[in-house]
């Protein structure tokens, strides 16, 4: 059987007009985010404009300096004046260079500052969105892919402020003003100097499309690579137990090689386009030098003017070389932005209705009224529950048993509204749970799930996760009920003992008891155990259940278990199969009925090899 990471990532399609429009929307959206910091952005643009002005003065000062130096040759009577003019021009050139450098540093700092603020804003936004997206979304989204979007894609969007927006303004000013100065000085030389621009523009567009598509494929591959590594780290004990290191290395090497192939393809695209654009630039410069030299010999222009043309072209060389970087930045920002904003724009199915009131608990009466539910897997609907009804009041316990896939855990997930029912309704004290706020509902419901998760922190912090301000006595009372206090007390650091990642330093039963204590600390009105004592020995389980009967006297308790000894004390027991309630009653009445519950009880009480 292939692991979940064996599924290959979806390859991006070819560029279309729709994709171009989507890319423009992403760039526009990032631009609007930059306006969240108007003073920083305005100061960055102002510093950039000043830097461009000083940079464009440099060719003019060079041309003047050359003419002054040329005037000194063979003109002894004007030597002192020419020397003074040359000195003045040199000082102006030095000052312009220094000021250009200072303002360039300033606009780079301010642009980076805006980018970092946008990065912080996006990281907080996507983390907040992940907290609010419902279980249906997380059923299909891989955590490794979400981590990639929250880190690499945020970085791709953040960098666009300095490498995209600011660079567009810089290149537009340099090319625009520089072109005007060239054409106004000599239209023929100006046209020759700018002859490379159409070719560079075509190559830049072609590179943009290629890099955009390849960056999308690279991001998909990096997400897949993250999933491979994450799954390996989470299952490292299984990998070692089955001596599967070589297989895992082969899988990771294959994924890494595929990512490297895409990276090599991107490098080839950038290098080939950059080389072609540079060749066009130098060819244009050669033509200017050839024609300009003839004009200089004919006396139509001065040597300083020709020098000014060549210096302007040198200034324009930077925009030519940066067009490839600009194209790469736009390609990365649009692709990263599409992946990032697709998560940020996702609307959760499970959310508060407008002006929804908080849940008010009086008698804590939980009622399922003809509840049906189906999972949506793509276009296919998979029924899980059908026409389930029951009513529980404060102090009562409901037991649920049945074969795997019968819909037991689904009931546990519907009560705190991790999913919405397909048909029917769930009410608490007559209030439909879809009409109250999620926060108030989930504060009243604690689900102890099969999938145990503990944080890499102290035992006390894990127990008090739902109420970090809980006092020590409440924490001890919860762990006492969960039959864990004595074990914790014997540890060298007691409640300050660090729990390893996902609780690996504890046994399975200890992890389950710690999670039970975490739920009990919240003193919920509705307490749900979803097969949460499976890893606990029978004797400890009975002590926990005995303590719970006292602790949960003011709560509604739902116990889901394959072990009938966990359900025998329940006020009512439901036997589920294929989403339907096939038997219901107390432990004694179900045994007397002689049905499937009775057969399961006999099997667990007197197991035989044949059975």
pLDDT of residue 8: 43
Rounded Cα distance, 257 and 312, in Å: 44
pLDDT at residue 7 is higher than 50: no
Percent of the chain at pLDDT exceeding 70: 88
Query: Which of 9, 114, 12, 34 minimizes the C-alpha distance to 338?
Result: 12
- Backbone φ and ψ for 510, nearest 5 degrees, come out as -65, -40
| Mean pLDDT taken over the chain | 81
pLDDT at residue 443 is higher than 50: yes
| CA separation, residue 477 to residues 117, 442, 545 (Å) | 45, 22, 15
Percent of the chain at pLDDT exceeding 90: 15
Whether the pTM exceeds 0.75: the reply is no
Query: Which of 47, 288, 83, 80 minimizes the C-alpha distance to 187?
Result: 288
Q: pLDDT digit string (tens) for 61-100?
A: 888 777 777 665 555 556 666 677 778 877 888 888 899 8
pLDDT of residue 484: 83
Mean pLDDT of 166-176: 85
Per DSSP bridges, beta strands 423-428 and 366-377 are antiparallel
Q: pLDDT digit string (tens) for 224-279?
A: 787 788 777 777 777 777 777 788 888 888 888 888 888 888 888 878 877 887 78
Residue 371's DSSP bridge partners are 388
Number of neighbouring beta carbons within 10 Å of residue 453 = 10
Rounded Cα distance, 192 and 425, in Å: 77
Residue with tokens 């950039």: 48
pLDDT of residue 369: 92
Sorted by sequence, the CB contacts under 8 Å of residue 329 that are 6+ apart come out as 159, 160, 163, 164, 167
- Of the two residues 524 and 20, the one the predictor is more confident about is 524
Mean pLDDT of 350-373: 90
Mean pLDDT of 594-611: 75
pLDDT at residue 324 is higher than 70: no
- Backbone φ and ψ for 52, nearest 5 degrees, come out as -65, -40
Give the chain's length: 611
Query: Which of 420, 398, 413 minimizes the C-alpha distance to 445?
Result: 413
3-state secondary structure 192-232: HHCCHHHHHHHHHHHHHHHHHHHHHHHHHHHHHHHHHHHHH
Q: pLDDT digit string (tens) for 448-495?
A: 877 777 777 888 888 888 888 888 888 888 888 888 888 888 888 888
Query: Which of 499, 459, 491 minimizes the C-alpha distance to 478?
Result: 459
- List Cβ<8 Å contacts ≥24 apart for 36-41: 36/117, 36/118, 36/121, 37/113, 37/114, 37/117, 37/118, 40/110, 40/113, 40/114, 40/117, 41/110, 41/114
Rounded Cα distance, 447 and 461, in Å: 18
> Helix, strand, or coil here: 520?
helix
Element (H, E) at 67: helix 38-71
The full set of domain ranges for the chain reads: 30-344, 366-605
Least confident of 2-16, 283-297, 389-403, 571-585: 2-16
Token readout for 591 is 């045994």
Q: How confident is the model at residue 2 (pLDDT cuts 50, 70, 90)?
A: very low
pLDDT of residue 141: 73
- Of the two residues 597 and 319, the one the predictor is more confident about is 597
pLDDT of residue 87: 80
Burial (0-12, 13-18, 19+ Cβ within 10 Å), 229 = middle
Mean pLDDT of 511-525: 83
Q: How confident is the model at residue 502 (pLDDT cuts 50, 70, 90)?
A: low
Burial (0-12, 13-18, 19+ Cβ within 10 Å), 476 = middle
pLDDT at residue 432 is higher than 90: yes
pLDDT of residue 20: 52
Task: Check if the beta carbon of residue 58 is closer than 8 Å to that of residue 93.
Answer: yes
pLDDT of residue 13: 41
Mean pLDDT of 352-366: 89
| CA separation, residue 516 to residues 439, 467, 548 (Å) | 20, 14, 10
CATH topology of domain 366-605: Rossmann fold (3.40.50)
| CA separation, residue 410 to residues 200, 405, 419, 521, 552 (Å) | 60, 9, 9, 24, 22
Token readout for 131 is 């907290």
Domain 30-344 -> CATH class: mainly alpha
Instruction: Classify each residue of 301-320 as buried b or exposed e, where b means 16 or more C-beta atoms within 10 Å of its C-beta.
Output: bbebbbbbbbbbbebbeebb
Q: pLDDT digit string (tens) for 531-587?
A: 766 656 666 667 777 777 766 677 888 988 888 888 888 889 999 998 899 999 999
pLDDT of residue 434: 92
């Amino acid at each position: 059987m292939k692991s979940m990471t064996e599924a290959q990532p979806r390859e991006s399609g070819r560029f279309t007009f729709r994709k171009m429009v989507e890319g423009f929307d992403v760039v526009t959206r990032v631009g609007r985010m930059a306006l969240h910091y108007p003073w920083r952005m305005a100061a960055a643009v102002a510093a950039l404009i000043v830097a461009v002005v000083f940079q464009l003065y440099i060719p003019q000062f060079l041309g003047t300096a050359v003419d002054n130096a040329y005037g000194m040759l063979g003109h002894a009577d004007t030597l002192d004046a020419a020397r003074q003019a040359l000195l003045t021009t040199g000082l102006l050139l030095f000052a312009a260079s220094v000021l250009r450098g200072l303002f360039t540093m300033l606009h780079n700092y301010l642009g980076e500052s805006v980018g970092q603020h946008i990065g912080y804003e996006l990281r907080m936004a996507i983390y907040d969105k992940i907290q609010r997206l419902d279980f249906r979304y997380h059923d299909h989204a891989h955590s490794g892919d979400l981590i990639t979007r929250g880190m690499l894609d945020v970085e791709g969007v953040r960098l666009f402020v300095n490498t995209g927006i600011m660079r567009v303004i810089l290149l537009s000013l340099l090319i625009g003003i520089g072109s005007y100065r060239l054409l106004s000085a000599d239209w023929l030389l100006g046209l020759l100097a700018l002859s490379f621009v159409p070719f560079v523009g075509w190559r830049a567009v072609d590179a943009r499309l290629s890099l955009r598509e390849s960056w999308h494929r690279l991001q998909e591959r990096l997400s897949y690579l993250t999933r491979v590594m994450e799954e390996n780290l989470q299952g490292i004990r299984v990998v070692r137990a089955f001596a599967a290191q070589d297989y895992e290395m082969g899988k990771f090497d294959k994924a890494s090689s595929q990512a490297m192939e895409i990276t090599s393809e991107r490098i080839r695209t950038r290098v080939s386009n950059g080389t072609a654009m540079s060749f066009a630039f130098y060819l244009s410069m050669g033509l200017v030098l050839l024609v300009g030299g003839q004009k200089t010999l004919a006396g139509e222009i001065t040597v300083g003017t020709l020098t000014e043309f060549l210096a302007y072209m040198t200034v324009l060389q930077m925009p030519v070389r940066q067009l490839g970087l600009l194209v790469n930045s736009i390609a990365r920002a649009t692709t990263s932005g599409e992946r990032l904003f697709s998560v940020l724009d996702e609307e959760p199915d499970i959310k508060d209705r407008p002006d929804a009131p908080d849940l008010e608990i009086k008698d804590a009466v939980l009622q399922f009224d003809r509840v049906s539910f189906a999972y949506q897997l793509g276009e296919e609907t998979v029924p899980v529950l059908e026409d389930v009804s029951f009513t529980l009041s404060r102090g009562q316990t409901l037991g649920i048993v049945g074969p795997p896939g019968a819909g037991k855990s689904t009931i546990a997930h519907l009560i705190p509204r991790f999913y919405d029912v397909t048909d029917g309704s769930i009410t608490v004290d007559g209030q439909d749970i879809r009409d109250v706020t999620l926060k108030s509902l989930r504060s009243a419901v604690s689900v102890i799930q099969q999938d145990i998760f503990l944080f890499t922190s102290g035992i006390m912090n894990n127990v008090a996760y739902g109420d970090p301000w809980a006092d020590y006595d409440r924490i001890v009372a919860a762990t006492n009920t969960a039959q864990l206090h004595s074990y914790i007390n014997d540890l060298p650091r007691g409640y300050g003992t660090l729990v390893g990642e996902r609780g690996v330093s504890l046994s399975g039963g200890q992890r389950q008891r710690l999670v039970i204590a975490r739920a009990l600390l919240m003193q919920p009105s509705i307490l749900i155990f979803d097969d949460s004592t499976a890893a606990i020995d029978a004797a400890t389980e009975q002590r926990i259940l005995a303590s719970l009967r006292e602790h949960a006297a003011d709560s509604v308790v739902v116990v889901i278990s394959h072990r009938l000894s966990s359900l025998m004390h329940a006020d009512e027991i439901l036997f589920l199969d294929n989403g339907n309630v096939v038997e219901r009653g107390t432990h004694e009445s179900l045994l007397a009925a002689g049905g499937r519950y009775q057969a399961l009880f006999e099997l667990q009480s007197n197991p035989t090899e044949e059975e």
